[in-house]
Structure 1
């Protein structure tokens, strides 16, 4: 990782300089920023129905773990929605959010507690990496269910008089999508209900800094699949270089 020089030798940790009892802001701000990168909290969310064999799981996992490797004191939290699928939301969750904690039934308390856990994981992270495998032109039910829990009025977004206000801000999101066909352009582009939809959901709750990595065209034969994987590998390397 390249450390900002801040007037110090490039590649070294900048030390705050004092002038009397005041720390120079020219040194303090980059110094604190550097410490923040070292202490980064990364949340990895995988959701491929194929589990560890899915390309979205592979690329999202590689990206998250390499980010963690760049940040020595970072924390990596993994939410594997394939190995540990969430129950679909039901009346217990919907109604439980609208009553006081002490008035909730056991089923309501359990459903709301799960949502609170997922939201706490999300809020704790500064970097979120999401792997999504296209299923019938959209995200898998596993990932959609995660969004059903974390999109909570009054908690992750507020209703405004003219628009909605997202409350989960200050996050960097890397969205890794995979598909057998090519949906970024060409005749199938209008049928992509995955990438744009997920970016909309993320933005709705305040996460607007989203970088998209597509792994597509893998169903067009072995050569096309290999080319798609090599292209995605290069894209991952480029992302890591920019983040270093």
Structure 2
């Protein structure tokens, strides 16, 4: 049995276009592979706290010197990491807000990027420790940005996931969603076709 971790980052929870693409992909994936176990994390319904000085200090504190509050922060992060490591596939719904990645997803990333846990530094540089996984990214945008300097998302997501060891990353784009009904319909149809092929 394989485990699929589904992460939705839309502010509109399951009503967001990226979330709907993720749901469609996961349903198709489970239909093709009924043994798949799905674990869901909705960052709108259950947001991860944004990183601040106190939370970061908790990660840096020696285990034997942590306060109860610091241990609670580490326990929360450890649970996210364990959930990620237990997954064979990671599926992320990625809307674009003001040309960037949702802050809720960045907060999640900040809690799973842990030195000695999900990556380590070696003499030749950083080495990711979360390996052997496949990631699917469903990116939705109001305009058309893929392949242009305005698309800072794609490289950031690839670099971050690669940093922790996830290098097999597949993107599906639905762009031009706010450029008229025809553009929206065409973009979603293309994304649906792409995700059905990936889910098989």
Same fold (TM over 0.5): yes
63, 77, 99: which is aligned to 1:137? 99
1:66 aligns with 2:34: no
Tell me the TM-score normalised to structure 1 length.
0.79
> Could you tell me how far 1:60 is from its partner in structure 2?
1.2
2:157 aligned counterpart, secondary structure: helix
1:204 aligns with 2:163: yes
**1:199, 1:71 → 2: CA distance?**
26
> Could you tell me how far 1:183 is from its partner in structure 2?
1.0
**1:196, 1:178 → 2: CA distance?**
15
- Residue 129 (structure 2) aligns with: 167
1:104 aligns with 2:63: no
1:131 aligned counterpart, secondary structure: strand
**8 Å CA contact 2:28, 2:196 repeated in 1:** no
> Could you tell me how far 1:103 is from its partner in structure 2?
2.3
**8 Å CA contact 1:42, 1:68 repeated in 2:** no
2:187 aligned counterpart, secondary structure: helix
**1:74, 1:230 → 2: CA distance?**
25
**2:17, 2:40 → 1: CA distance?**
16
> Could you tell me how far 1:208 is from its partner in structure 2?
0.1
**8 Å CA contact 2:26, 2:199 repeated in 1:** no
**2:38, 2:8 → 1: CA distance?**
13
**2:77, 2:32 → 1: CA distance?**
30
**2:36, 2:196 → 1: CA distance?**
19
Name the structure, 1 or 2, with higher relative contact order (CA <8 Å, separation 6+): 2
| Residues matched between the structures, number | 200
**8 Å CA contact 1:43, 1:125 repeated in 2:** yes
**8 Å CA contact 2:18, 2:95 repeated in 1:** yes
1:69 aligned counterpart, secondary structure: helix
- Residue 172 (structure 2) aligns with: 213
The alignment's C-alpha RMSD in Å is: 1.2
Tell me the TM-score normalised to structure 2 length.
0.96
- Residue 190 (structure 2) aligns with: 231
- Residue 84 (structure 1) aligns with: 46
33, 48, 55: which is aligned to 2:17? 55
1:115 aligned counterpart, secondary structure: helix
